[in-house]
Amino acid sequence: MRFFSNLNLTGKIVTLVALLGALSIIITLYSMHHLYSVDRDYRALIDRDAQASVLIGSALLDLSDASRLVFSVLTEQEEAKMRATQLRLNEQQAQFREKIASIAPLLDDSAPKLEAILAQEQQVFELAGQIIDSAARWRGDRALDIIHSRFDPRLNELRGNMDALRDDIIEHFQSASLQLNAATRSTLLATAISFGLALTTIIGMSAYLSLTQISRPINQLTRTMGQLSHRHYDERIEHTERRDEVGRMAQALQVFRDNMQRADRLELEARASEEIRRISRQLVELTDAMPGAVFQLMVRPDGSQRFTFLSGKAGKFIGQETLVNSSGLRLDGIRVERSAAADQAIEQAIARSLEALQPLDIDMQVALDDRRFWLKTLATARRTDDGSTLFNGIWLDISDIKEQARALEEAKELAEQAAKAKAAFLATMSHEIRTPMNAILGLALLALRHPLEPRQQGRLEKILRAGQHLLGIINDILDYSKIDAEHLQVEAIPFSPRQLLEDVREMFEERAASKGLELRIEAPDELPLLVGDPLRVSQILINYVNNALKFSDRGRVTLRLRLEREDGLVLHGEVEDQGIGLSEQETRSLFQPFQQADASITRRFGGTGLGLAISRSLAELMGGGVGVRSQPGEGSVFWFRIRVAEAALGEQARNLPVAYPRVSAKALNGLRLLLVDDNELNRLVANELLKEAGMQVDQAEDGRHAIDLLEQAHDGTYDAVLMDLMMPEMDGLTATRLLRQNPRFGSLPIIAMTANASQQDIEQCLAAGMNAHVGKPIDEQQLWRTLLQHCLHEEPVQAVPVAAAPVEPVRQGRVLDPKPLEHLQRLVAPERFANMLNMLMEDCRQRGRSFAALAGQADLQPLDQQAHDLISTAGHAGLVQLADLGKAVRQALQRSDVAAARALALQVDRAAADAVRELETRFGVAG
CATH of the domain at 751: 3.40.50.2300
**pLDDT tens track for 738-795:** 999 998 998 899 999 986 665 677 888 988 999 999 876 576 788 888 998 888 766 5
Average pLDDT (397-420) is 82
Helices (H), 647-779: 680-692, 703-712, 732-741, 759-768
User: Quick one: DSSP state of residue 667?
Assistant: G
Helix axes 880-894, 898-923, angle to 10 degrees: 170
At residue 629 the predicted structure's pLDDT band, cuts being 50, 70 and 90, is very high
Average pLDDT (240-262) is 81
CATH of the domain at 383: 3.30.450.20
pLDDT of residue 697 exceeding 50, the answer is yes
At residue 809 the predicted structure's pLDDT band, cuts being 50, 70 and 90, is very low
Are 784 and 864 found together in one domain? no
Residue 268 lies in a domain: no
Highest mean pLDDT among 268-282, 447-461, 910-924: 910-924
pLDDT score for 802: 38
Q: Taking Cα atoms as reference points, which of 730, 731, 724 lies closest to residue 755?
A: 724
Are 156 and 39 found together in one domain? yes
Are 544 and 669 found together in one domain? no
**pLDDT tens track for 861-907:** 888 888 888 887 887 788 888 888 888 888 888 887 887 888 888 88
Chosen domain end from 362, 378, 397: 397
pLDDT score for 796: 53
pLDDT score for 487: 55
pLDDT of residue 612 exceeding 50, the answer is yes
Chosen domain end from 157, 176, 211: 211
Are 81 and 189 found together in one domain? yes
Cα-based distances in Å from 109 to 51, 159, 266: 16, 20, 94
Cβ atoms of residues 815 and 921 within 8 Å: no
- Per the prediction, the chain carries an average pLDDT of 79
**pLDDT: which is higher, 369 or 89:** 89
748 phi/psi in degrees, rounded to 5? -70, 125
Find how far residue 222's CA is from the centre of its chain. 63
pLDDT of residue 706 exceeding 60, the answer is yes
Are 631 and 681 found together in one domain? no
Chosen domain end from 397, 432, 456: 397
Are 564 and 595 found together in one domain? yes
DSSP letters for 879-906: -HHHHHHHHHHHHHHHTT-HHHHHHHHH
Average pLDDT (692-703) is 91
Is-cis flag, bond preceding 494, omega within 30? Answer: no
Cα(152)–Cα(678) distance, integer angstroms: 79
pLDDT score for 807: 35
pLDDT score for 466: 65
pLDDT score for 808: 37
244 phi/psi in degrees, rounded to 5? -95, -165
pLDDT score for 522: 94
Cβ atoms of residues 386 and 368 within 8 Å: no
pLDDT score for 473: 58
Are 871 and 787 found together in one domain? no
pLDDT score for 423: 57
Find how far residue 559's CA is from the centre of its chain. 39
pLDDT score for 828: 65
pLDDT of residue 801 exceeding 60, the answer is no
Cα(275)–Cα(198) distance, integer angstroms: 67
- 0.75 cut: is pTM over it? no
At residue 713 the predicted structure's pLDDT band, cuts being 50, 70 and 90, is very high
Find how far residue 666's CA is from the centre of its chain. 46
Average pLDDT (622-637) is 90
Residue 808 lies in a domain: no
pLDDT of residue 219 exceeding 60, the answer is yes
**pLDDT: which is higher, 654 or 50:** 50
Residue 470 lies in a domain: no
Residue type, 756: N
pLDDT of residue 447 exceeding 60, the answer is yes
Average pLDDT (380-390) is 90
Average pLDDT (804-824) is 60
Average pLDDT (839-846) is 87
Are 33 and 163 found together in one domain? yes
CATH of the domain at 571: 3.30.565.10
Who's near 186: CB < 8 A, 6+ residues apart? none
Torsion angle of alpha carbons 482, 483, 484, 486, nearest 10°? 80
Question: Cβ of 324: how many Cβ atoms within 10 Å?
Answer: 9
Q: Taking Cα atoms as reference points, which of 581, 575, 529, 534 lies closest to residue 553?
A: 581
pLDDT score for 333: 52
Cα(554)–Cα(515) distance, integer angstroms: 8
**pLDDT: which is higher, 269 or 589:** 269
Cα(519)–Cα(508) distance, integer angstroms: 8
Residue 482 lies in a domain: no
Are 663 and 636 found together in one domain? no
How many structural domains is the chain composed of?
5
Which helix (H) or strand (E) is 843 found in, with range?
A: helix 830-854
Based on the number of CB atoms within 10 Å of its own CB, is 105 exposed (0-12), middle (13-18) or buried (19 or more)?
A: exposed
* Range of lowest pLDDT (254-263, 275-284, 296-305, 313-322): 313-322
Are 629 and 715 found together in one domain? no
At residue 640 the predicted structure's pLDDT band, cuts being 50, 70 and 90, is very high
pLDDT of residue 431 exceeding 70, the answer is no
Residue 49 lies in a domain: yes
**pLDDT: which is higher, 322 or 713:** 713
Residue 469 lies in a domain: no
Helices (H), 78-215: 79-103, 111-138, 140-146, 152-209
The whole domain housing 742 covers: 658-800
From its phi and psi, is residue 781 left (phi > 0), alpha (psi between -120 and 50) or beta?
alpha
Are 763 and 904 found together in one domain? no
pLDDT score for 558: 96
pLDDT score for 605: 40
HSE-up of 131 (CA within 13 Å, CB side)?
30
Residue 909 lies in a domain: yes
Are 697 and 628 found together in one domain? no
Residue 887 lies in a domain: yes
